[in-house]
Amino acid sequence: MRYDFTTGAVEPLARIPVDHPNVRLNDGKCDPWGNFLAGTMHIHRQPGEPLLGGLYRLRPDRTVERLADDIAFTNGPCFSPDGTTLYVADTVVRTIWAYDYAPQGPLRHRRAFALTEALGSGPDGATVDAEGCVWTGGLLVFSAISDGTQS
């Protein structure tokens, strides 16, 4: 959305191509190249219903592309300091996923970076500090260095 502080006008920049009443945008972040990544969450999912959450990239020209469709509840997309690794917290499955990332093209090499089941909570939001440690919240604050070692 674009908001005009002078007039109060709101203008949609783009629309996510999802037509389901229980799917909505949840969390987003800009990559180092000016693209905006935003994830969706599938609320009130019924047993046996397929996962409808995903991750999308909005380019400066307003085109939208779906990057991932295997995320239940997208939270805290964030990038390694060099921008080549994307981390995405998936609250429902209590996992932080890591992907190889480039500003053009698909995500590659999805892998479980951190599992938070033992913490009793799903990751909720995330960020990366200058040293490459991934920080997330839930029932407590959790950190993992770039190799997945937890502290």
CA distance 71 to 92: 9
Tokens, residue 8: 């109060």
> Is residue 150 in some structural domain?
no
> Is residue 135 in some structural domain?
yes
Distance of CA 13 to the CA centre of its chain: 19
- Per-residue model confidence (pLDDT) at position 139: 54
Residue 64's domain is classified under what CATH number? 2.120.10.30
CA distance 35 to 95: 24
- Per-residue model confidence (pLDDT) at position 41: 85
> Is residue 50 in some structural domain?
yes
Instruction: Considering only residues 93 and 19, tell me which one the structure prediction assigns the higher pLDDT.
Output: 93
CA distance 49 to 52: 9
- How far apart, in Å, do the first and last CA atoms of the chain sit? 37
- Per-residue model confidence (pLDDT) at position 143: 61
Mean of the per-residue pLDDT values of the chain: 86
Phi, psi of 91 (to 5 degrees): -60, -45
Instruction: Considering only residues 13 and 84, tell me which one the structure prediction assigns the higher pLDDT.
Output: 84
pLDDT at position 144 over 70: no
- Per-residue model confidence (pLDDT) at position 115: 87
| Strands, E assignment, the chain | 2-3, 10-11, 23-30, 36-42, 55-58, 64-68, 74-79, 85-90, 95-100, 108-115, 124-128, 134-137, 142-144
Instruction: Considering only residues 72 and 83, tell me which one the structure prediction assigns the higher pLDDT.
Output: 83
CA distance 125 to 61: 27
Count the domains in the chain: 1
pLDDT at position 86 over 90: yes
Structural domain of residue 72, as residue ranges? 2-144
Over pLDDT 70: what percentage of the chain? 91
State the pTM of this model. Answer: 0.85
pLDDT at position 110 over 70: yes
- Per-residue model confidence (pLDDT) at position 145: 60
> Is residue 149 in some structural domain?
no
Q: Shortest CA distance to 106 belongs to which of 70, 63, 68?
A: 68
